[in-house]
Structure 1
Amino acid sequence: MKDLIKNEIIKMFYRKKILIGLAVILIFSVVGVWGTIAIIKATSPENEIKITQQKIANLKKERMKTKDPIKKQKIDEQILQSQAYIDNLKISMKSTDWKKDVKNQLDKLKKSMKEATDLSLLDSKEYYREQILEYEYCLKKNIKPYTLWQINNWTVMNIFLGLIIFLLPFIVFIFASDIMSNEISQKTISLLVTRPISRFKIALSKFISATIVCSALVIISEILVFIITGLLYGFIDLKYPITVGTRYRKHGLELIPIYGSTYIVPFGKFLIYALLLQLLIITACCALSFFISTISKSNSTANTLSFLIVYGIYFVVSPISQVVSKLNFLKAFLLYTYLNPLDILENNIATNVMVSIMTPFVSILILFGYIVVFLSGALKIFNKKDLLV
């Protein structure tokens, strides 16, 4: 089995597609990091104040036009939140004593938490508690809180990972979508199955080799971006608090965070969890791509089906669900929804698909489900496929 996997990996690196994949990753990494830094610089306090002031002006115009009292209440909440954000920005620009600022911010947050109605996400007790947890942890560990406009390896990676999820299936398809269909169409697979090796081992070795190559290329590129941006702009403290695991309950058409569900994970541990999840996500993408490659008779069919299933279906369902909010739950069944490991850990998936039972554990189960269903399906089909014709 080891020799089969080794041979498959060597074969993959002799294919022209490997150069295309490497070029795509390199170009995207350079452009992605450059774009990410530009985005962070655009969120400087001065720019944020201008943007938020314009947002408040637009909200006030919208409030004057609406007659719905519930909608007016929500707009008032957004205006208050936006104004508080501006006030905090102005204070942070002038202040030099970060501990004093954090303590003042904690007092405001605790007061807001007591007054929270728990009728909307932005006015929920857990929304304020999450921020309180982070600030209290920073004070306890003597870590200065980071701001959105500070450039370091984590603020860059946070946005970069959000960008790379669009590219991830594309990278996997380059290497895995024709790993089986290519050999079937060229009849080379018929020579392989005549050897004294079980079809199960042949198919599994191809899947494992594709997963290893895809995982190595994606994760190594992410680690390099993390290290290089750290050397250029500074490394985040491994003890820095990251809030994760927020659970939700249904309230009308909204999801409200459950009080006490959010907890703190040190950045070092969070990073390990994210990398492990990234491996799981890549494996799920490879399983889907491998299944499509097994049922396809040509490379073009395998590539087309792969893109349609991951990208096409999502970008059809997503706009429909925005118009018909009751259909948001359909996104819970699509692989594209789970491509960002940070969204899984922070449970942003729940608010994306508007399903209250969604948790990081449920998201992980769904990814495992993709792997089991599509890998077992591919192995079963390959075992019964007539390859000697």
Structure 2
Amino acid sequence: MNYSIASLMKNEIIKLYRKKKILICVIVAVIASIWLIVSGIGNNIENDRFQLKNAQGDLSKAASVEEKKSLEDAVSGLKKSIAQYELSVNAPMKEVKENYNKQIMDLNSEKEKSSNHYKTLIIDSNINFIKYLDENNLRPTNEIQLDSNGRMKNAIGVFSILAIIITLIIASDMVSSEFASGTIKVLITRPVSRFKIILSKFIISTVICSLFVLTAEIIVYLLTGLIKGFATLNYPEKVYPVLGDSNISPMIPEWKLFIYSFILQVLFIACLSAFFIMMSSLIKNNLYIAVLSVFIIAVGFSFRIFEGLKFCSGLLFTGYFDCINIVNRKMQMDSGASYVSVGEAIIVLVLYTAAFLFVSKRKIEARDVEVTAA
């Protein structure tokens, strides 16, 4: 009997279903989606006004200099947030345009005082962004009441992290469990390619995890839009300039930001699937696989935290979980890894995925010998 990829994939789905892994991932995705939707509904202007009133009352009673400074910062931040909300929701369009003109004047004044070329490029990008809003009669966004686009950005950020957990649940024991249960002995006696075995596990893990993540994000977007109203997907997204470049970075519409982010997210999930399958091929104990995998990913994330390592974050696959900020280049600006782009991210993730799958294939071939000898 010749085992096809389709038949092997069907077997993988059956095994996942029997282990209730899909149910666990559904629960994780549902809880995260509900939290994102409910937190979006709960954010309102009255809550911020109440917090401002309390902060102002506490400020008048502040005893120490440190406490006073902290409360002054809180009051200032809340006032700015409320003013931005009023401007984006309640202010007449004439007032919004006047505010745009004031912002442009302030930015031009800041630009004249700046001697830093990169900072000047960022200021020019901000000016272009505000001019675009002004010319197209678009209101600014606000942080108090995120619209459907803002909630989608939050969902992509949250599920980019949860993708690691979901993929760990699905893929971390896909190979090791075959050896632990003895089913690998059946497979190696059949005319089935070892590459097909690995590939079927990889495809199922990537497809299922991607479906969980993308479906949850789209549901959050749709439900938030139905509750609060949909924002235009043509709303511009600022793209940060490339360090050392002399050109102002162009803006992109948010629909393009989301599509690029989805592509990177799926590729990141594919890379995670290949990584966990490789770990499952190398290590027999499922607990050790989970602990070591999490440790390796945590070490990779540390490159985004420590100042001296930030520039190298683009060299590791763990540096590509932040899809939104890779597309708008905020990640590159914060880390200094200016060599990172959407195209470079795709190449790096594909290369890592191929390398992980190659190691998995070689290891399962080596373990064939062990099983046969036993």
Tell me if both proteins adopt one fold, taking TM over 0.5 as the criterion: yes
Superposed counterparts of 1:188-267, under 5 Å? 188-244=183-239, 246-249=241-244, 258=245, 260-267=247-254
In 2 relative to 1, CA 11–382 (structure 1 residues): closer, same or farther, beyond 3 Å?
A: same
Contact in 1 for aligned 2:205/2:273 (Cα 8 Å): yes
- 2:357 aligns with 375
Match of 2:296 among 309, 321, 334: 309
Cα distance in 2 for residues equivalent to 1:33 and 1:334: 32
The two structures, once aligned, show a CA RMSD in angstroms of: 3.6
Contact in 1 for aligned 2:88/2:142 (Cα 8 Å): no
Contact in 2 for aligned 1:43/1:149 (Cα 8 Å): no
1:53-74 per-position Cα deviation (integer Å, ceiling 9, x unaligned): x9xxxxxx89xxxxxxxxxxxx
Paired letter, 1:165:
S
Instruction: Compute the displacement of 1:200 (Å).
Output: 1.0
2:6 aligned with 1:11, yes or no? no
Match of 1:280 among 257, 261, 267: 267
Match of 2:286 among 276, 299, 309: 299
Paired letter, 2:9:
I
TM-score normalized with structure 2 length: 0.81
SS of the residue aligned with 1:263?
coil
Match of 1:363 among 345, 353, 362: 345
Instruction: Compute the displacement of 1:103 (Å).
Output: 4.8
Cα distance in 2 for residues equivalent to 1:368 and 1:43: 46
Cα distance in 1 for residues equivalent to 2:200 and 2:82: 59
Instruction: Compute the displacement of 1:278 (Å).
Output: 1.4
Cα distance in 1 for residues equivalent to 2:82 and 2:92: 17
For structure 1, which runs of at least 5 residues remain unmatched after alignment? 55-60, 63-77, 250-257
Cα distance in 2 for residues equivalent to 1:316 and 1:194: 44
Instruction: Compute the displacement of 1:333 (Å).
Output: 3.8
Cα distance in 2 for residues equivalent to 1:16 and 1:83: 46
Paired letter, 1:147:
N
In 2 relative to 1, CA 261–190 (structure 1 residues): closer, same or farther, beyond 3 Å?
A: farther
- 1:20 aligns with 24
In 2 relative to 1, CA 179–352 (structure 1 residues): closer, same or farther, beyond 3 Å?
A: farther
SS of the residue aligned with 1:244?
coil
Cα distance in 2 for residues equivalent to 1:228 and 1:279: 22
SS of the residue aligned with 1:195?
coil
How many residue pairs end up in the alignment? Answer: 354
Instruction: Compute the displacement of 1:209 (Å).
Output: 0.9
- 1:162 aligns with 157
Greater shift in the superposed pair: 154-163 or 167-176? 154-163
In 2 relative to 1, CA 377–93 (structure 1 residues): closer, same or farther, beyond 3 Å?
A: closer
Cα distance in 2 for residues equivalent to 1:276 and 1:307: 24
Contact in 2 for aligned 1:33/1:160 (Cα 8 Å): no
Instruction: Compute the displacement of 1:306 (Å).
Output: 1.7
Contact in 2 for aligned 1:245/1:360 (Cα 8 Å): no
Contact in 1 for aligned 2:311/2:337 (Cα 8 Å): yes
SS of the residue aligned with 2:196?
helix
- 1:57 aligns with none
Cα distance in 2 for residues equivalent to 1:27 and 1:87: 30
Paired letter, 2:147:
N
For structure 2, which runs of at least 5 residues remain unmatched after alignment? 59-64, 67-72
In 2 relative to 1, CA 382–93 (structure 1 residues): closer, same or farther, beyond 3 Å?
A: closer
Contact in 2 for aligned 1:347/1:360 (Cα 8 Å): no
Paired letter, 1:11:
K
Paired letter, 2:291:
T
TM-score normalized with structure 1 length: 0.78
- 1:73 aligns with none
- 1:146 aligns with 141
In 2 relative to 1, CA 139–223 (structure 1 residues): closer, same or farther, beyond 3 Å?
A: same
Paired letter, 1:383:
E
